Amino acid sequence: MKTSSSSQTHLEAEITGRRDLAPDLWILRVQTEQPFDFLPGQFATLGVAVDGKLVERPYSIVSSPRESELEFFLERVPAGELSSRLYPLKPGDRISIRKAAKGVFGLDEKSGRRKHLMVATVTGVAPFVSIVRTLRHDERRSSASAGHALFLLEGASRSWELGYDEELTRVEKKVSWLRYVPTVSRPWEDTAWRGERGRVHEWISKSLELFRCKPSDTTAYLCGHPGMIEAGRDILSASGFAKEAIQEERFWVAPKEE
């Protein structure tokens, strides 16, 4: 699949792998023609040529900067201009990527707060996986993760939408700095699920107490569904978290009610 992007601002990338999780949820791996620099937690702008024009949207990067390929966790939005065009693509097809990664949704290493409460819905886990992978990779060569404690809460309607639960569970068993809590909000549609139940924002207050996360030593991160972000912000604010201690990354804007 050819794109019409400018070589000055864009890279071409070939899809190297695809894993489908549900009819509207899948994971893509791509290889860029040149190195692509980014920080854990940032996003890339993907594009597909349509009638001579490039349709583009930002997507958080799942992979670590230490990996040779880029990975994305994607959801097909019914009215989405780009997701509906990315969905049919398979290994060997090509897309464009803007050369510059963007975003400041990364691990807080400046405030002095060493605990990190991360809350995600479905594809909102992407930047957190990138951070976990990078810390895991770097700790083998240095003390990059020393002093940090990550508490990752991820919610989905059904367990097969979690995407990275097996990977995160494996990492949790091997390191001391990660706790991972996945929860499912529609267990009646997923009768084999034996884990936690309920919407992920309902676990924020419990986790603050369980993991002894205080506003003075914890940065909170909310990523994914705007409804979760609003509910999560209210809970954190009521628990004493200042605005600057709460980072937010919403993946779409909820339509306004008439």
pLDDT tens for the 258 residues of the chain, in order: 444 446 789 999 999 999 999 999 999 999 999 999 999 999 999 999 888 889 999 999 999 999 999 999 999 987 788 999 999 999 999 999 999 999 999 999 999 999 999 999 999 999 999 999 999 998 866 656 678 999 999 999 999 999 999 999 999 999 999 999 999 999 999 999 999 999 999 999 999 999 999 999 999 999 999 999 999 999 999 999 999 999 998 765 544 443
Q: Where are the alpha helices (DSSP H) in the chain?
A: 83-86, 126-139, 165-174, 204-210, 226-238
pLDDT at 8: 84
Extract long-range pairs of 183-188: CB within 8 Å, 24+ residues apart: 183/153, 183/154, 183/155, 183/156, 184/155, 184/156, 184/157, 184/158, 184/159, 185/155, 185/156, 185/157, 186/157, 186/158
How many C-beta atoms surround the C-beta of residue 222 within 10 A? 30
pLDDT at 143: 59
Alpha carbon distance 71, 92 (integer Å): 15
Structural domains for the chain: 10-98 (2.40.30.10), 115-250 (3.40.50.80)
Q: Tell me, yes or no, if the pTM score tops 0.85.
A: yes
pLDDT at 202: 93
3-state SS track over 4-25: CCCCCCEEEEEEEEEEEEECCE
pLDDT at 80: 81
pLDDT at 78: 79
Backbone φ and ψ for 42, nearest 5 degrees, come out as -80, 170
